[in-house]
Amino acid sequence: MRISFLIHNAYGIGGTIRATHNLAAGLAAHHEVEIVSVFRHREKPFLGHHPGVTLRHLVDTRAGTPGYEGDHPEHAVAAQHFPREDGQYKAYSVLTDRRIRAHLATVGADVVVTTRPGLTHHLARQGHRGAVRVGQEHLGLDAHTPALRRRLRAVYPRLDALTTATEADARAHRGRLRLPGVQVAVLPNAVPAPVGPPADPAARRIVAAGRLVPVKRYDLLIRAFARVHGLHPDWSLDICGGGERRAALAELVDRLGLAGHVRLRGAVHPMEDAWTSGSVAAVSSSWEAFGMTLVEAMRCGVPVVATDCPNGPREIITDGVDGRLVPPGDPDALAEGLLQLVGDESLRRSMGKAALANAARFDPAAVAERCSDLFTSLVARRGRAGGAARLRGSGHRARGAALSAAFTVRDTGRSLRSAARAATPGGSG
């Protein structure tokens, strides 16, 4: 089976990017897999990628390189087909509209998978009817504005399937988007096993990771740690990640007298070394689409103290067995959860072992098998045997190549004038 993922930018860092690379690597053991990145802003992917997975891009934004297209005239005109309600709308343009449409016409895969709402919108409207069309939801329905949800409700019924990272989000999509005929399936994010040994339960460090943004509530974690540090001054806290809240968090650390005990480490890769340097992981979020950092920590044998926020933590952690769930938004409750583990090395050891065992269900091989079964059933439902699918794929790649060539030679001035009219108030979004 030939599987093609379409992603915003495979060369950056983030949960969706890691999840896509991990799943593609797992699927590559038995299928022909590619990742198509709309944008390419660096020479090599920050996270690396599996050698058995083909990686290519549609628009090159690497300044100073021969293929640079950041100054392409069409890239200066707002997108007509990428939905403006998607949070990445400003990155898209008439150029990306054209490249995405041509890609969807030429891809020739048995299954095409898109990884964010705006790209799934393209797939639903422009995906070739010969391929199975699968949208992946990595953010969660509640993360979208009402306007975006209305836009998605109008086009998602054209998909063959929609996958969510949690059962809670799957229920939300089934109940609120009304998607007759679309299979809504749960496909958790895949996390590979660490290369080295598990964490040492005797370590006296708490580790957290994620973007420094308001939803992660690192201010709450730092306040909770202040209480932990008051009782256990030999413990420290590492927060890994970059983002808009760094200066404010650094100021809070100083104000609470925690300088030298709390480190804001910035982006760390690989995270495995950071997780194994600690013996307790912390998640203080007010909301999580999945909670990939929880699984990463658990795969390193580190128990997690996490807020019981929507949607992911409660589907990952078994409270009291491999970690602790505490009420969100409450620094005292978070401190109590941390103190339970900080003050008991034997508990850290037993919970760490349980975390290591329970997190194995998120191994790329296990998730890829689940994904492969889903895709195989979707292809079978269309009545497309593998050989026939490849034959039709070859034919539609040839037709798509002609379409792509037609796009390339189209009069640029006419395209720009049309796009400019559409970008004015009252034009299509």
Give the pTM: 0.84
- pLDDT of res. 366: 95
**Fold match between domain 2-190+364-423 and domain 205-362:** yes
The yes/no answer on whether domain 2-190+364-423 falls in CATH 3.40.50.2000 is yes
Q: What's the 3-state SS for the chain?
A: CEEEEEECCCCCCCHHHHHHHHHHHHHCCCCEEEEEEEEECCCCCCCCCCCCCEEEEEEECCCCCCCCCCCCHHHHCECCCCCCCCCCHHHCEHHHHHHHHHHHHHCCCCEEEECCHHHHHHHHHHCCCCCEEEEEECCCHHHCCHHHHHHHHHHHHHCCEEEECCHHHHHHHHHHCCCCCCEEEECCCCCCCCCCCCCCCCCCEEEEECCCCHHHCHHHHHHHHHHHHHHCCCCEEEEEECCCCHHHHHHHHHHCCCECCEEEEECCCCCHHHHHCCCEEEECCCCECCCHHHHHHHHCCCCEEEECCCECHHHHCCECCCEEEECCCCHHHHHHHHHHHHCCHHHHHHHHHHHHHHHHHHCHHHHHHHHHHHHHHHHHHCCCCHHHHHHHHHHHHHHHHHHHHHHHHCCHHHHHHHHHHHHCCCCCC
**Each residue of 89-109: b (16+ CB within 10 Å) or e?**
eebbbbbbbbbbbbbbbbbbb
Tokens of 39: 């944008």
Domain boundaries, the chain: 2-190+364-423, 205-362
How far is Cα 89 from Cα 82, in angstroms, rounded to an integer?
7
The CATH architecture to which 205-362 belongs is: 3-Layer(aba) Sandwich (3.40)
- pLDDT of res. 201: 97
In total, the chain counts a number of residues equal to 429
- pLDDT of res. 52: 95
Spans of the chain below 50 pLDDT: 384-429
- pLDDT of res. 69: 97
Residue among 339, 267, 258 at smallest CA distance from 305 = 339
